[in-house]
Amino acid sequence: MIYSFSYGLNPKTQRGGDSPVFAFSGRDLLLKVEGSSLTVPCYAETVASFPVLMDQNYIGELSGLPVYAYSMDGTPKDLPLGWKLFPLRSLYGLLSDSVMKAAATAVQILDWDKNHRYCGRCGTPTERSSIDRSKVCPACGARYFPHISPAVIVAVLKGDEILLAHNSRFKDSVYSLLAGFIEPGENLEEGARREILEEVSVEIGEMSYFGSQSWPFPDSLMIGFIARYKSGDIRVDGDEITDAAWFKRDELPELPSGGSISRSIIDWFAKYGGEKSEE
**Domain-located, residue 174:** yes
Q: What is the pLDDT of residue 276?
A: 57
In single-letter form, the type of residue at position 107 comes to V
- Check whether residue 99 and residue 23 sit in a common domain: yes
- Check whether residue 167 and residue 261 sit in a common domain: yes
Q: What is the pLDDT along the chain (279 residues), one digit of tens a residue?
A: 556 899 999 888 888 899 999 999 999 999 999 998 999 999 999 988 888 787 789 999 998 899 999 998 766 678 999 999 999 999 998 999 999 999 999 999 999 999 999 999 999 999 999 899 999 999 999 999 999 999 999 999 999 999 999 999 998 899 999 999 999 999 999 999 999 999 999 999 999 999 999 999 999 999 999 999 999 999 999 999 999 999 999 999 999 888 899 999 999 999 998 765 444
- Check whether residue 135 and residue 106 sit in a common domain: no
- Check whether residue 140 and residue 154 sit in a common domain: no
Q: Are 91 and 100 in contact (CB under 8 A)?
A: yes
Residue 84: count of CB within 10 angstroms of its CB: 14
**Domain-located, residue 137:** yes
Distance CA 196, CA 274 (A): 18
- Check whether residue 40 and residue 140 sit in a common domain: no
Q: What is the domain range of residue 136? A: 116-146
- Check whether residue 96 and residue 192 sit in a common domain: no
Q: What is the CATH number of the domain that holds 153?
A: 3.90.79.10
Distance CA 252, CA 10 (A): 46
**Phi and psi at residue 89, in whole multiples of 5°?**
-60, -30
Q: Which residues neighbour 148 within 8 Å (Cβ) at sequence distance 6 or greater?
A: 219, 220, 221
Task: Domain count for the chain, please give it.
Answer: 3
User: How far is residue 78 from each of residues 45, 54, 75, 83, 268, measured CA to CA in Å?
Assistant: 17, 18, 9, 10, 43
Q: What is the CATH number of the domain that holds 19?
A: 3.90.79
- Check whether residue 174 and residue 243 sit in a common domain: yes
